[in-house]
Structure formats: structure tokens, C-alpha cells
Structure 1
């Protein structure tokens, strides 16, 4: 994108003013753990809103844009953002060249975002080339979610990972990509503050009870190393195991082993490399919980094969401690997702690796008739006794086609009942939700389940039964004297 440009569309008009970070930039900050010392290039920065917001976070960021910031410094950076740029270029050759230029300036990871096909009804215009020439004389090439990943892989020549619908990461080396994938499955440990040797040992015990193994020196914060550097490894091992709860350590080891299998199963999609190519934490988990890397890979491969077995998947769903099982699918809340069987976690992760998991979602729906995952957004799940569906993002794993539905403007949205069934039994909110469900059952509100799946039908049933809701309490409608009786206290 150097030198004078001749455009057939007014692409500079696609740059919008914004307060705060764009969705792709916000996703990158969270996923790639951008911090002080990370250099960022916003390639095609528009009016520069992301540049300003990222600088406020303490990042070393510069922006360049052929229309709004042509004098910006175009130099390589650790992270390069190409935010809604490739979709506004009407010339396919120039589009690829722009992506290539952005990649050439990338040292660690390139973040590419584009508008997707489900947004077509929001754009007024006529077909032009491989896109739409809008009524504002701007151009939009709308991508399918999987198409964007394939496009970036073709231009960059590296394996890419969709982070969210319409957002793809391309990593310069496999080490960075594998670290990112590992964090998606097992988030980094949050180390507690240590002030002396005693608290430092307590921190090691906390790690042991959460990971199922002791940390290696390379995994410890410098503060902990300084406080415990006088202890030999056997002595530290003895002190930590004496103080740790053995049941917690055993459960953590099982959980870490399953997380490792999940990681290795997903990595097979990209061609599994040698053990030395894996992140250090994964290598150490393999040594701690498996006899060898080969054994761990064989078990991961068997896990993948089980994902194809309809009967096995169905049994896993019926036996899951978390989630609501229906004749067609298992529905599970996002904070209970880590408690479902590992084959079902693999199921959901495969869908997210294929097209990206949306940033906003509340309940995952895993079909057992066919293979498909939907991420459903109920933003008021915790406060609304019967939360309304705002959006649904679905991927069919057989065709890799995705679709998006918004219910934001609907006057009769789908809603949820029996909220406790989407969670694990030991979730702290379950007793409150279960009391409400019991009261609604006693009142006869579930006698006609085919009528209560939407707002209007539910309101009619509440009226028929003479009930209303006050928070998570079911109450009788006021009688002539104005009295109100609670049925859930």
C-alpha cells in the first residue's frame, strides 16, 4: 500500500469515530496478553481510536492509514492489527497485497478482522465484483467465518486460529500459536503475593492443589524463586506435599491430565509436532501425568475417535454432572463448561477452533443429533428469573457453515426456564433457582410446556395461573384487598 492509490470506492468513508477499543483490539488485548513492552502497529488505523485507547493501556503503538494517517510510521511490530481493512478493498489483488504487507510487518502475531456474511441485510447497495458497492459508494466484501481463516492462511502461509467470529490470528511461529491454544484450555496460574518463605511455600501449595504437580523453577515468579532459592527441590517437594490436601492434588492431577489430552487432540488438526515444540507447561504436564508423549498422543487420538461415536457422545451427555439434556442437545452454562466430560469439551473446542467462539455468550448448545454447536447469549441470566435470548451463533461441524441470529429487536423472544439445570449442582446460585422452579411447578406453570418457550406465551401462562414474578420469587397476583403472597420464601 505504498505510493499513490487510485480507488474505485470511497473507502476512507468506512473509517468511523469510536470511543474505546474496537472488538478485535479488545479481543487481542485479552487473548494475546498484550502488556508493557509490546509494540503494536495498527495497519489501516482509520481515525486512530484504537491507537489512542491502546496507548492509554501503556502499549507502544503506532498507526498508519493511507487516508487519515498517511504520515504514520510504517515499521515492524510485535502485534499488527488489520481491523476491518480487507473487506473494504474492491480489488482482489490489492486486497491480498494489503494483507501480505501487514504480515511482512508482523514479528509475533497478526490480527485480521472482517465483516461476515450474516451482516448482508445491514448493508444497502448493489452487487459489485465479489462484494457490495454501498449507497455511500463504499465497498464491502463479506467473508464466511471459515473463509476468512482460509484466506489468511493462504496469504501468510501459516496455520491460523479463529479467536471469535470474524477475527483470525496468524502467528509467526508455532511456539506462540501453541501457547495461545494452551491458554484457551488451561488459563495461566494466578500467583499469589509472597512476602516471606512461609507465604511462598503456601503459594507453591496452592499451585500444587490447582495443577496436580509442583511447578518447575522456570514457571515460578522471581519473587517466589528469591524466597525459596535456599531449598533443594526434594525439600520443597516434601514441604509442599505435607501441607497440601491430597484429595485436592489428586483431583487437580486428573483435571490437568484431561486438559492435556484435550490440547493434544486439538493440535492434531494442525499436524502434531514433537514434544519439544509444545509449551513448557504442557511438556511438564505430560511428564507428570503420562508415561510418555507417545502414550499421551495415543490417548488423545482415541478421544477424537470417540467424538465420532454418536452413542458414546450421547452417553457422555446423559452422564454429565453439568448441563440440561434434551431430546436434541445438551445445554450448559459457560461457567459450568469445564465440568462436562472431556469428550464434550473437545466437541465445543473443535467448533471454536473451526470458526471462532463469540465474545459474548452464556449457554453452549451441543447437538447429539448430528454435530453442531450454538453459543447462546442471555446477558441477564444471573438477574432475570427467565432470561431472554439476545443472539445465537451456530456452526455445523459437518459443513463448517456458520450462522448468526439476533433477537435484540424481537417482541417475542425465546426465554429459559429451570435455570438451575444449566449449571453444576454445587453452583452457589442453584438453590435459589431451584426454589423458583419448584414454586412454578406447584403453581401449574409447566403444565403446557409448548406454550411457555417465548415471552408472550409465558406471560399468558402467568396470567392464567394468577401469578407474577418479583425477582426470583413467585407471588400471587394481588386480590381485591391488595394482598400479595410469596410462594418461594
Structure 2
């Protein structure tokens, strides 16, 4: 018998294509059929196979760096359903956090020369505890963070200890409060922040905190934002009439008026604060306010706001109200960028750049260094070209990044290191040619195509919004138009063609399919594509325009959590959830359906009248780059594997879901599905057919003594449920009701049983402990003895062995009860009790019952 080189994870088996010859004939035939359906051969397109042991699916996986990368990344996969003869594709080529592979030595043939090195790496990883947390090892980002936490780095097929990591950390002392000319209680509204405020985070998200701009925080409160920006090496200052009254007030590129005008009760003073902040903003004013929530009363009415119990004033705005107020006072367009956060630009060129970049996919700029740079760093051969690159590495890298960002060769006016590059190469064009000869041409082409798409989206949405055209195009935008389109008229024509295409249902359907293949959302074929809003800017240009048109009617789609693109009805739904990122099962609080054809919006709120539903299978709508994605995937899979719920439609209601989960002794802790630690009522269901009382109050001794034979450990109840669900319920389904002759046994009951028993081995004690706190039976799990009346118990025992994941089974005779247990080991050990000397029964382990 040959040992098959495979890796088993759950109910799935992995092996390398070099090991396919080791498979059994029937399994090998399934793989061949999967290849036929996919339409290509092994080695060329894929090098690993994943076999679903209990289902019809086979996955063909491509790990291009399997041999050289110690933990290779998955590039692409094909999921083949043999029953349905369907093939679905997923690419991870552009993923920032692809799945990775461990324990490579298990996958290759025994005579493979690489096995020893692979096994040594695995042994080292095990020795430092890298595999102790399975949820953190499946994706590259979490894996590398875990390796570093353990104090190691990866070099080739080795783990090398890190040196000392010395870093200074400290917080600036909070300045003592000073007297203020504002109303005395206004200072109480200043929060102590432990992260950046919403307006500052919006500036970071839109690229304004790259070090190019000076920021002034007008009404900075306790100064947490300013301190954080300074710690990040940015130019920032602030003033506050209470907490920083002595600080100078001065102009800056960006002025932040964060949650200030909503705490000023005097209307004229509110106007003064706004106009003063606007006068200081040389490029951009950022205004943020508290938004109204009609379901949350906050205090007594006072002027046009409320007076809180703390004696502070709050004016709550709606999004449209604050936008109208800003535009009326400043006579400038206010652009909403987040709930309660709006931008007002003084610099119209900067406004155009912002509007273009707002619809830009930013994937390329976030990627790891290109292979061109990595390969160059690893070269040992020091020729003249390499020496020249090393001498100008930093400005060349900046130039390359700028080229990829623009999607075209930069102009002299756009290059910060022009003098250095001219000195080194003679001219900018020669420096660009130097990079072009050594760069990745495919990457340049991707960047160019991405930039064209960004510009088409920008111009298309401008025309849909009927935005008043600018008097002139910002200089960089002029260069973009000339390079990519030839002239402005051609750019508008291209954008208009894209805009009209949103009415093409087939084009929308194809774009949704392409997005799903790249991990951007969950596709319900012929119905919709649903995805998290963070993925929208990575969609194909057509879908970005589709969503952007809906946002014109609704407002910024980023205020929601999920976007649902209806592929056939011309609609877009936006859904907001309670703590989407932090919950395994977030609950929907708002849903808006934007009907593009009717130019109308239907709005639905969930609360007391309509129960907020859970979002099931959240992992479908995010991807591997989203926070807590690995944990979410494990949670969703565990929930599915319970087999308790019907997921059709929107799934069970929250009440029904939680009640059923509780009946089966499960609860949710964070992103984990865990066994309940509560004590149930004895008459509660234990499995589909029995109750806890039936499994506890059974047997002659318990009936004779009437002992209170109740488990003390919650884990014992959980073990009884698992025994019922995995063994007893299937037996009852097949043979009919069983008769229990011996079930749970407490230490008190064990003392009263006259015949010879083995509490330390038989698992009837479940998870109970003795007087010194140690488990009575180290095997854990639970056990019962039962008989099926009018059935040959040999047939019953044989069926249990064949069809259930039991731990141990003892067979006593065709007309005698059998003993069966279910435990964490699932050893599937079969013991036949035979008559020995003096008629005493002796156990004998057998491979089969006959």
C-alpha cells in the first residue's frame, strides 16, 4: 500500500499535481473529469488539486511560486462542480492579501528532493507556535504579522530571529485648560480622542495627508488630531478658545472646522466662526457637524438646537441642511464626503483633482514593490547599469511610482526630483527611458488602462450630474486629456458612451461577472452583485459609473456598508449595518433602493417596528483584504456546517436564529461559534428526539435510588447534545425510537451501581470532575447504552459503525444493548465482548463486526 502524499484540512484533501498518480482510480477519474470541464491540463494552468471529500466539487489551484516561495500565494483557482458540470473562476492576481500555503512537504511525492527543506521549515514553524492559531495563518497579511509577533522573519526556506526593536512611544502632556470667551460649557463638548476624528480620517482617505499640505485645526479642542498629525511627521497646528487659546491663528492649505459650529448657540457667532475659518483656508475648508437622529432625543429644545443635561448646546443638522448652510454663507459648492463631513474648495484646480481622484481605483499605488525593484535589489552582479540605479535609487523609485499613478509619462512640472534626475541622466526623458527599459511593460499598460477608466468615470459622472463646466481644466487634467484622448471633446464623447452603456443589461451583467471573478463581491447570476463599499472603486469603470449615478440621487454611497447592483432592473440598493466591521453577524439598520430609471429613491429603516435582520455569510461581500476576513470565513463555514438553518431568501429571523442556536447549545462570541456555558432545563431538547432528562434519568440504578443525577459542568450538557446529534438522531431516523438503558452517570450514581464499571474509561461521566477538580474520564465526550426493540442489535451496531462518527462502540450480543460514545477523538474503536473463563465477559478490539 502506497502512502498518498496529501494534506487534509477539514473535509478537503490537497495534493500536488506531481502526486496525482498516487490517487485511487475512482478519485483520479474525478480529477480528469474536472480538467476536461475546465478545458485545460495540469502543470500548465494549475499545480495543486483540492478534492471535496464529501461533495461533488474539485478545485484546480495555481501557485506559480510553489517551488521557490516558502509560503506561496494562490494566484487563481477554478472550482469545478462535477454534478452540475459547472466551472467558476477566481483570480487573486491583484489581491493585497492572497491565500497562502503551508506544509508543502505533505503535498509532493516521497522521493521529491525538496521535501527535506520543506519539512525542516514546517518543524521550525511548529516549534515557535506559528500553527497554534489556525485562524491567523491562511492569508499573507495575517501570516506575516504573526511571524513578526513571534520575533522572526522569513528568509528563503528558513525562519530567522529578529533583532531588538527599539521604538519610542509617548503621548504629549495635555495642556491645562485656560479661560475662554466662549460660553463656559462649550469646552465640555471637546472629546478625548484615541484615534483620528472623522474629518481627519477623510483627509487621509482622499490623499490630503501625504505631507504636501499644511493643516490648521480651527477649534481643535484638546488637540488630539493635531498631536497625532505631528507624530506622523506632518505640518499641523491648531487653536481652541478654551484648550489652546494662546496658540496663534494663521492661514494654512487646509483648515479643519471639526464639530465646532454645531456647539455654538448664537447664530451670528456661528456665522463668524464659519467665515473666519473660510478666510484662513488657502485651498480647502473641511467642515464637520453632528447629524440629526430623530429616534434619539438628546435634550431640551433651545433656540434652533437642544440644551443637553451637561449644559452644552448642540445643533443637529441633516446632510442637506448643512450643505445648504455652507453654500448659502460661503457662496461656494459644498461637497459631502462622509456623514456630516463636507469639503469646500477655494482652489478650483485642487477641486478638480479631488473629483477626478474620488473616482479613481487606487489599487496600484497600494501594491508592494514591483518585481522590477525586487529583482534589482537581489542582483549580485554590479554592472554599470546597476551602479547607476543604486546611485539614484530614491528619485528613480519616486519617478516610477508617479508614472504608475498618472498612467502616463510625467511632465517636467510634475516631477519633484527633476534637478537630481537631470544631473544623473541628462534629461527627464532619458531617466524615463532608463526606467522603461527595465520596468514591467505590462504594469505600465495596466496603469494606463486604469487611468483612462478613472477619467472616463469622472467625466461621465460630471455629465450625469450636469455639473457646470469649469472655466479651464486643471493643468494635470489637461495633460491627461491630451495624452489619453487627444482633446476634451473626445474625452467627453468617450465618457458619454460609457454613461449610455449603463442601460446595456448584458454589459452590466458581464461587468458584474468580471468583478466577482476578481473577488469583488458576491454574484447572484442574473440578479445582482453585492459588495462592501470599500471595493466599489476597484470595480470595472461601467459599474463605478452605475453606482456613481445612484449616488447622485442618494448621496455618497460610502455612507452605507453594502452596495447591491441589480443587473436587470436598473436599480442600486445601499444598506447600512450596525457595526459592520466589528460583528460576525451585523444587523441592518437602513436600506435605500435607488431606481435609476424613475430617478427616485425608496428608503427603509429598521428598528422597533421592523426587526433589524442579520446579514448572514458576511464573508461573501468582503474579500481577503478586509479586517477580520479570516475569522469571518471560519465563522461562516462553521455556521454552515451545523446544518441547522435554511438560508434561502434572507435567512431566518434574528429571534428564530438565536432560539435555534441556543437549543443546540451554541452561542456567538466575537467571530467564534462556541458551545454554550449555560445550564439547560432537563426537559429541554437534546437533539431532535430526546431530552436531557431522558439521557440523565435512565437505567435501573437511577430509577431504584432516585438520585439527583445531574451534570455540574456545562461541557457535559454540550457533550450529550453532540452524542445525540451525531449518533443517536441518525439511529432513530433509520431504525425508529431507541430505549435507553444507561446514560449519564454522576460520581454519586457510580457509587451505587453494583456491577463492575470503569468511570475513568467508559465516558458515561462526560466532562464531570472529581473532588480535586480533575476530569473523571480523560476521554471526555459522553456515552449511552441503548437497545432498539425488535431489532437484531448486530445489525444496529454495524449500521452505527458504517454511518456515524462514533468514538467507541461495545457490542454485547444480538439481543443486548450496545454501548456507544461520541468524543473529541472520534477513534471509531469497535470492541466485542466475548465470554471468558467463568463466563466473565472479556473485551476484544476488532476491525469489523460480523
| Same fold? TM cut 0.5 | yes
Secondary structure of the 1:277 match is coil
Relative distance call for 1:231 and 1:278 in structure 2 (3 A) is: same
Using the alignment, how far apart are the partners of 1:272 and 1:84 within structure 2? 32
Q: Which residue of 1 aligns with 2:473?
A: 277
Q: Which residue of 2 aligns with 1:150?
A: 324
Relative distance call for 1:375 and 1:468 in structure 2 (3 A) is: closer
Worse-superposed segment, 126-135 or 73-82: 126-135
Relative distance call for 1:164 and 1:395 in structure 2 (3 A) is: farther
Using the alignment, how far apart are the partners of 2:424 and 2:587 within structure 1? 53
Using the alignment, how far apart are the partners of 1:328 and 1:252 within structure 2? 31
The C-alpha deviation readout for 1:376-404, integer Å capped at 9, x for no partner, is 553158xxxxx321665666665689898
Aligned counterpart for 2:586 among listed residues 375, 389, 392: 389
Alignment partner of 1:331 is 2:505: no
Using the alignment, how far apart are the partners of 1:5 and 1:210 within structure 2? 48
Aligned counterpart for 1:288 among listed residues 483, 493, 509: 483
Q: Which residue of 2 aligns with 1:321?
A: 515
Of structures 1 and 2, the one scoring higher in RCO (CA 8 A, sep 6+) is: 1
Alpha-carbon distance, 1:273 to partner: 2.5
What does residue range 103-118 of structure 1 map to in structure 2 within 5 Å?
103-118=278-293
Q: How many residues align?
A: 468
Relative distance call for 1:277 and 1:403 in structure 2 (3 A) is: farther
Alpha-carbon distance, 1:60 to partner: 4.4
Worse-superposed segment, 468-477 or 262-271: 468-477
Larger Rg: 2
Relative distance call for 1:35 and 1:447 in structure 2 (3 A) is: closer
Q: Which residue of 2 aligns with 1:16?
A: 191
The structure with the greater share of residues assigned to helix is 1
Aligned 8 A contact 1:90 1:139 in 2: yes
Alignment partner of 1:139 is 2:313: yes
Alignment partner of 1:452 is 2:651: yes
Using the alignment, how far apart are the partners of 1:21 and 1:418 within structure 2? 27
Using the alignment, how far apart are the partners of 1:339 and 1:401 within structure 2? 27
Unaligned runs of 5+ in 2: 1-179, 378-385, 676-718, 724-781, 783-820, 827-850
Aligned counterpart for 1:258 among listed residues 433, 453, 456: 453
Aligned 8 A contact 2:639 2:673 in 1: no
Relative distance call for 1:467 and 1:18 in structure 2 (3 A) is: closer
Alpha-carbon distance, 1:69 to partner: 4.1
Q: Which residue of 2 aligns with 1:34?
A: 209
Aligned 8 A contact 1:146 1:401 in 2: no
What does residue range 362-373 of structure 1 map to in structure 2 within 5 Å?
363-366=562-565, 370-373=571-574
Q: Which residue of 2 aligns with 1:164?
A: 338
Worse-superposed segment, 188-197 or 151-160: 188-197
Aligned 8 A contact 1:149 1:160 in 2: yes
Q: RMSD value over aligned CA atoms?
A: 4.9
Relative distance call for 1:152 and 1:254 in structure 2 (3 A) is: same
Secondary structure of the 1:449 match is coil
Worse-superposed segment, 204-213 or 123-132: 204-213
What does residue range 383-422 of structure 1 map to in structure 2 within 5 Å?
387-389=584-586, 398=599, 414-417=614-617, 419-420=619-620
Aligned 8 A contact 2:182 2:241 in 1: no
Using the alignment, how far apart are the partners of 2:662 and 2:283 within structure 1? 59
So what's the TM-score if we normalise by structure 2?
0.46
Relative distance call for 1:257 and 1:122 in structure 2 (3 A) is: same
Q: Which residue of 1 aligns with 2:166?
A: none
The C-alpha deviation readout for 1:462-489, integer Å capped at 9, x for no partner, is 6889999998999997433343589xxx
Relative distance call for 1:189 and 1:420 in structure 2 (3 A) is: closer
Secondary structure of the 1:213 match is coil
Aligned counterpart for 2:498 among listed residues 277, 284, 303: 303
Worse-superposed segment, 47-56 or 468-477: 468-477
The C-alpha deviation readout for 1:103-152, integer Å capped at 9, x for no partner, is 1122121111001112x444432333332233334322211113222321
The C-alpha deviation readout for 1:359-389, integer Å capped at 9, x for no partner, is 8x754334556455335553158xxxxx321
Aligned 8 A contact 1:109 1:172 in 2: yes
Relative distance call for 1:240 and 1:358 in structure 2 (3 A) is: same
